[in-house]
Structure 1
Amino acid sequence: MKLKNTASRGLAATLAFLPTAALAHTGAGHARGFMHGFGHPISGLDHILAMVMVGVFAWQLGGRALWLVPATFVLVMAFGGALGLAGIEAPYVETGIALSVVVLGAVVALGVKAPVAMAMGLVGLFAIFHGHAHGAEMPEDAGGLAYAAGFMIATALLHVAGIGVGMLVGKASESYGQVVVRTAGGLAAVAGVGLLTGVL
């Protein structure tokens, strides 16, 4: 448990300083690009739910998964973003994003204890869709690197939020913490179905 706390605090501290570093670039284009990129993942319910569920899933698995699962998502998402920026088409992007909410919510709701490599593969698959959407929707006047830094940092912070939610709920109630977390996963999965069918 001590290792979990140390790892999550270190990750949170590191991520807290990253936005400042990215904003240190001079020039309006960089700042505008960063802010557009940072705002993209937090502007849609689908992205928010998926990112937070990645964090909760990582917390449920614990150990090395606590940082490997979110890091995999961010890195593969950057690859997907590069595809989108380059104008390379990817099929079923919106469907893949909605399915990510359904599947990740269900994984959390069911408390799936997947091997770390399998968890990394699962989140990596969905990260391509999220990244492609971020890259393809970059404004023309935004700087590419600053924009990418923005959406990667926002995504990482949403992962940290998910890890934090899991830890707080777990600490608040040893008896019912998992029930609350799994219920949240179930609600996310239902919301994902709503996104998939166009109800939400």
Structure 2
Amino acid sequence: MTFLHPYRSTCRRIAAAAGMMLASGDVLAHPGHVAATDNMLLTGLLHPLTGTDHLLAMLAVGLWAATSDTSRRAAMGIPLSFLVLLFVGAMAGMAIADIPAIEPMIIASLLILGLLLASRVATPQWAGPVLVGAFALFHGVAHGAELVTGGSAAAYVCGFMLSTLALLLTGLGAGWLLRGRALWLTRLAGAGIAGYGLVLWSAAA
């Protein structure tokens, strides 16, 4: 069982980081992001990484795509759909003020993606891209709505799209790695993500 040692070490680090984030009351609201107009690329890069809700949702998308009963080519369609609709949502968030239900839908994405990942319920092949695309719209709206006034929209969008791609690929790669070795870790991750979504839901109620 020595091949599980790296995964156990990684899990401990993830758990410690999650505990530190959960210990902060700021994560229960939408976390305060770095907002500096002098470097909008950096602001965009950090935006998904400093928002626990965004970070967990994007990792969940990659993990779920990798562990679903589809080919690798079909699995790539799920994060691709997320990226495309995230961009569309961001454009809407920049153009339209006060789009309703943004936070509830982001919380719902954590609950549903976490439960799907934990339970591994079979879904039709078309359902994955449609479901994550719908959630991506609201994550994108949240990104777009938080564009700093006077900052470069192009640099900001480029930044958070690159970070999102990195998170999706991280989840996808981890899912493919664990699929044939320690699939229970992805189930555990899904349960944790759904649990975090439930905490946010309770706090918002």
TM-score normalised by L of structure 2: 0.76
Q: Does 1:147 align with 2:149?
A: no
**Distance apart, 1:165 and its partner CA:** 1.8
Alignment of 1:1-200 (within 5 A): 32-61=39-68, 62-63=70-71, 64-171=73-180, 173=181, 177-198=182-203
**Structure 1 segments of 4+ aligned residues over 6 angstroms from their partners:** none
Quote the Cα distance in structure 2 between the aligned partners of 1:94 and 1:60: 27
Instruction: Using the TM superposition, name which of 31-40 and 118-127 deviates more.
Output: 31-40
Please say if residues 83 and 89 of structure 1, whose CA atoms lie closer than 8 Å, have aligned partners that are also in contact.
Answer: no
**1:5 matched residue in structure 2:** none
Cα RMSD (Å): 1.8
**Any stretches of 5+ residues in structure 1 without a counterpart?**
1-27
Contact 1:36 1:142 in 2 (8 A): no
Separation of aligned partners in 1, 2:163 and 2:124:
26
- The sequence identity of aligned pairs, in percent, is 35
Q: Deviations over 1:17-44 (max 9, x none)?
A: xxxxxxxxxxx97x71211111111111
Question: What count of residue pairs does the alignment treat as equivalent?
Answer: 167
1:34/1:150 contact within 8 Å kept: yes
Q: C-alpha offsets along residues 113-135 of structure 1, whole Å, 9 cap, x if unaligned? A: 32231111100110111000000
Residue 103 of structure 1 aligns to a residue in which SS?
A: helix
TM-score with structure 1 setting the length:
0.78
Deviates more, 1:129-138 or 1:158-167: 158-167
- Counterpart residue identity of residue 140, structure 2: G
| Alpha-carbon offset, residue 194 of structure 1 | 0.7
Q: Give 2:33's aligned residue.
A: none
- Note if contact 2:67-2:176 (Cα within 8 Å) is conserved in structure 1: no
Instruction: Find the counterpart in structure 1 of residue 17 from structure 2.
Output: none
